[in-house]
Amino acid sequence: MLGAGGGGVLGGRVAIPSIYRERKRNQINGEDREKIRRKVAIVTASTQGIGFGIAERLGLEGAAVVISSRRQKNVDEAAEKLRVKGIEVLGLVCHVSNAQQRKDLIEKTVAKYGKIDVIVCNAAANPAVDGILETKESVLDKLWEINVKTSVLLLQEAAPHLQKGSSVIFVSSIAAYQPPQGLAMYGVTKTALLGLTKKSLEEKTLLNRLGTTQDMAAATAYLASDDASYVTGETLVVAEECNLDSNFVLWCCGATVNEVRHDPISTYDISHFGGCPE
Ligand SMILES: NC(=O)c1ccc[n+]([C@@H]2O[C@H](COP(=O)([O-])OP(=O)(O)OC[C@H]3O[C@@H](n4cnc5c(N)ncnc54)[C@H](OP(=O)(O)O)[C@@H]3O)[C@@H](O)[C@H]2O)c1
């Protein structure tokens, strides 16, 4: 999963709907979890699977979640599953390829909650397992359309409503880094999301500030937590877009997990540098 967090299109302050003021605190495993309380999160393709899991988790942490998928029945059932857990949810039909339904997704979210804080572009398709040279044009079109193009179009639709601090998250895949046999073109579309994350971040999320010790601490707390138990051998860069020509990027954090099998202790090597690259 690749997130392009922070920044966004600047907008005015929005009134917080009364539903949040009166909201009772949610609990996960007995702990108070309200990290994203008061945020409004749209998750596409979210009536089952990873999208539903993301919506449920964000909802349990206090966000109002907007779930969607192609079928009304699936939307209704998934919305009800979330509501019984005390999650504030709006369920909408949205086939990500349908321009009117994408527009409705954004407009109905803003009409109900007054803002958008998080968009998770989760929809994807993998209609064939052919090698690249055998992949039919219709399959290429569908892969591009669902996995890449609709994420761009949804982002364009949402952009006027994004504000400082909004997050845009594209759900990619390990196949993005090394497209495997049988998932070759799917992997290539997921690789495209890496570029999309970088470029949309460049256009929308220049923070123009230094990193803080709290930024480093938050990343370390995540890596040290059970939430990061499936994150192994990765480097997490905590920094504004690294542009060595700019004077803005001043603080990076590398985090390396050296997980030893049969050893319950994982080590995290945190390093940072400050100062403007010469
Ligand atoms: N599963 C994995 O192992 C894995 C690994 C790496 C990355 N990913 C990525 O994770 C994301 C979710 O995968 P998943 O395995 O959780 O999917 P999934 O279980 O197949 O879930 C599909 C969901 O998407 C909805 N959906 C399907 N096509 C849609 C469309 N065109 N527009 C809107 N909604 C649509 C479905 O509901 P309706 O039928 O009602 O539309 C359903 O809610 C994808 O981006 C995938 O590439 C998955």
Mean pLDDT by 10 residues, the chain (278 residues): 30 31 43 70 98 97 97 98 98 98 98 96 95 96 98 96 90 94 95 91 72 90 93 85 42 35 38 34
Give the chain's domain count.
2
Q: What is the pLDDT of residue 242?
A: 53
Residues 152, 229, single domain; the answer is no
Q: Where are the alpha helices (DSSP H) in the chain?
A: 18-21, 49-60, 72-83, 99-113, 137-144, 150-158, 184-204, 213-224
Catalytic member of 20, 177, 186, 230: 186
Residues 40, 114, single domain; the answer is yes
Residue closest by Cα to atom 5 of ligand 1? 173
Domain containing residue 167: CATH number: 3.40.50.720
Residues of the domain holding 122: 2-204
Residues 141, 244, single domain; the answer is no
Structure tokens at 186: 């799917």
Q: What is the pLDDT of residue 18?
A: 40
User: Three-class SS of residue 112?
Assistant: helix
Q: How many Å apart are CA 92 and CA 44, to the nearest integer?
A: 10
Pocket of ligand 1 (CB under 6 A): 44-45, 47-51, 69-71, 74, 94-97, 122-124, 146, 171, 173
Residues 31, 11, single domain; the answer is yes
| Domain finish residue from 204, 232, 256 | 204
Q: What is the pLDDT of residue 260?
A: 34
Q: How many Å apart are CA 16 and CA 18, to the nearest integer?
A: 6
Residues 177, 241, single domain; the answer is no
**From ligand 1's centre to the CA of 151, what distance in Å?**
13
The contacts of residue 109 (CB under 8 Å, 6+ apart) are 40, 42, 66, 90, 116
| Domain finish residue from 146, 172, 204 | 204
The contacts of residue 14 (CB under 8 Å, 6+ apart) are 114, 115, 163
Q: How many Å apart are CA 82 and CA 96, to the nearest integer?
A: 22
Q: What is the pLDDT of residue 198?
A: 85
Residue closest by Cα to atom 26 of ligand 1? 45
Residues 143, 252, single domain; the answer is no
Q: How many Å apart are CA 20 and CA 39, to the nearest integer?
A: 9
Residue closest by Cα to atom 32 of ligand 1? 95
Q: What is the pLDDT of residue 200?
A: 80
Q: What is the pLDDT of residue 65?
A: 98
Residues 29, 94, single domain; the answer is yes
Residues 220, 114, single domain; the answer is no
| Domain finish residue from 153, 187, 204 | 204
Looking from the CA of residue 175, the nearest atom of ligand 1 is: 6
Residues 94, 231, single domain; the answer is no
Residues 15, 129, single domain; the answer is yes
Q: What is the pLDDT of residue 37?
A: 78
Residues 258, 122, single domain; the answer is no
Residue 268 is among the residues annotated as catalytic for this protein: no
Residues 234, 103, single domain; the answer is no
